[in-house]
Amino acid sequence: MKKFYTEEFKKMTVELSYSSDKPVAEVCKDLGISNSILYRWRKDMSVDAKSPDSQEIK
């Protein structure tokens, strides 16, 4: 059965993975998620940050 993670949890996890001194594998182990899912979230969030729809037009 697939687990459902909220957008808030995903964002918090990605931010933690970048700011933590721990290796990604250890962050994932602490949170009970796989490395591959965290890397996918990181990729998805970096793509979202670059999309024109997510940027404010001034």
What are the boundaries of each domain within the chain? 1-18+33-48
Is pLDDT above 90 for 3?
no
Query: Distance (Å, rounded) from C-alpha 49 to C-alpha 47?
Result: 5
Is pLDDT above 90 for 11?
yes
b/e map 12-28, b = 16+ CB within 10 Å? ebbeebeeeeeeeeebb
Q: What is the pTM of this model?
A: 0.74
> pLDDT of 17-53, one tens digit each?
999 999 999 999 999 999 999 999 999 998 777 666 5
Tokens describing residue 42: 């990181």
Query: Distance (Å, rounded) from C-alpha 48 to C-alpha 32?
Result: 25
